[in-house]
Structure 1
């Protein structure tokens, strides 16, 4: 009998202990679920260029319009003017928008400081400098990413914008070399055929780039019969852009900001067209410009290019937010573009640009935000 009572007592203790453990396990699981970070909402952005002559009231009206129609963030080009950015940032934030400082990085048309230093500019394989021979268009004035002075000038601009209170990120645009190949849909505009890398569009062959490359690889790109076939020469230039980005990342983070960038549609394509391999960068968010009409593609290409970029970032913490070009799109196509971006792994979508968004387009954006 004593043995039976002892056995029953032990069994009872085990039951109570197991019940308590089960309760703790359940509570821990519930706590874990409760404390798990919520998934970020799909973000809507737009790019705008600021005019210092506009009134605060007009900007407040514009920012309110964006917010009322589902936009979350605005990328503002102030021509690297921290004072103007500091004026507009509180207005946008008051409307409920994130603010990102949009910076033209390696392409610096009309930069009053850079123009005092003709040696800072990228040089083509033809031996012509962007200082006075501009490829394609008059506003293409590309700086060399290898020269210490020119790259430090760009990084100084990054720091000036990163110091502005309330800004969420410094946003790098034109963070690349000049186009070795234009998007196929733009070639007729310039009456061009580009079936190979043409010397007048191939950069940078300045003395500093050539000397540094030759020191490392013991060959001179100016003397190559076909430089396009030399993978080290191509990689040298990819690395120079990456180095500027990685330094900008450190600067932005030092000031409590993240680093974002507008880039070409997906890394392999960007590599081929503009010496830009953005899946190798230290960067928080990329906004690839998946402008399907520039490439004579149908709208479903937005999904393809988004998916390709997302896959290339698979092992990185970098977010991808799809950029779309709205002037040639209908409201229904904008809805489709947003859906394609979502389905293929984008964390958001950005529209180029704000002033081009008609009331019908904004209504379409709002409806996608509301799940309609």
Structure 2
């Protein structure tokens, strides 16, 4: 066969493969969007919400405001409603925005399906379930990541969102266990002191988790004098969250999307505070919530935490885009936050949340392009 004929055959086979597998073609597009940055080499994101009561014109005005001021991507919380997501995604895309499906993963407050199954919920060391005994706040209703039914419920929600046309990623939030330690700046709000791991904030001690751990390690964490000192028990729970993430990664990639997540500031801190070791996950993009004021830190801490996360991801093909808490910042402070993220290796920055972006913030973002 002549060389020119061989090239023609190879080209034809490639075209046929794409035609036979449009989902793979979509995945390639989505994965490319992870490497592309839209208007610049630094991506600007915003977390926002949606509900069925708002008119399309209202969403269009919101999305236009973002795009005209330099924002590239919107993370939209539709309360895991794929129909609502399918309605608003084209409106955002029409304004030139990349769309990401934001889901509250393990924390499922008011989930009508999960509420029919009280045994699906995470249990504290003192034996209380988040089904009816919620730590810290009323919307903390956490599902167990180990129990097959509860984890499959979460994965089913991920799959539903990943099938919506025009969505670039499924964005996992609350992909962890409840806070074993709150950020230090929030403790006075709850009149708390947390100098050790307290039983009422230590999860998951449900029968399924304990039984599976006991089969693996031949010990019962409920009988330990100080479970916080048992590394295998902590690692067991870290691994269970990782398994949910890794399964989500397979699901969304099969549907031509990528996987992103909102995570705690940097991996070692996330491990300590919420059983979340995100540098070990199969994931495309992480958006650490580096909310400096929650930790009584100054603006340069955004740079420190960004650099720490970037360093921890050096051996992985995972991008880091810094997340910041806008209500705590003036325009000049937001400008400094963007500078801190850029100079410490982030590929972009995300703002929480859209409703908090004042004209002075938007002008800073627009000028930063």
Give me the TM-score of the superposition, normalised by structure 1: 0.89
Q: Kindly indicate whether residue 126 of structure 2 is the aligned counterpart of residue 94 of structure 1.
A: no
1:130-209 equivalences in 2 (<5 Å): 130-209=130-209
Query: Which runs of 5 or more residues in structure 2 are unaligned?
Result: 1-34
Distance 1:51 1:203 in 2: 32
| Structure with larger Rg | 1
Q: Secondary structure at the match of 1:365?
A: helix
1:39-58 equivalences in 2 (<5 Å): 40=37, 41-58=41-58
1:79-123, Cα deviation, whole Å (9 max, x unpaired): 000000000000000000000000000000000000000000000
Q: Secondary structure at the match of 2:321?
A: strand
What is aligned with 1:292?
292
1:126-156, Cα deviation, whole Å (9 max, x unpaired): 0000000000000000000000000000000
Distance 2:57 2:85 in 1: 16
Structure 1 stretches of 4+ moved >6 Å: none
1:255-294 equivalences in 2 (<5 Å): 255-294=255-294
C-alpha deviation, 1:278, in angstroms? 0.1
1:209-231, Cα deviation, whole Å (9 max, x unpaired): 00000000000000000000000
C-alpha deviation, 1:39, in angstroms? 7.1
Distance 1:185 1:163 in 2: 39
Q: Secondary structure at the match of 1:309?
A: helix
Distance 2:333 2:258 in 1: 31
What is aligned with 2:60?
60
What is aligned with 1:340?
340
Distance 1:309 1:52 in 2: 37
Q: How many residues are treated as equivalent by the alignment?
A: 332
C-alpha deviation, 1:328, in angstroms? 1.3
C-alpha deviation, 1:181, in angstroms? 0.1
C-alpha deviation, 1:52, in angstroms? 1.2
What is aligned with 1:303?
303
Distance 1:39 1:288 in 2: 20
Query: Which runs of 5 or more residues in structure 1 are unaligned?
Result: 1-37
Give me the TM-score of the superposition, normalised by structure 2: 0.89
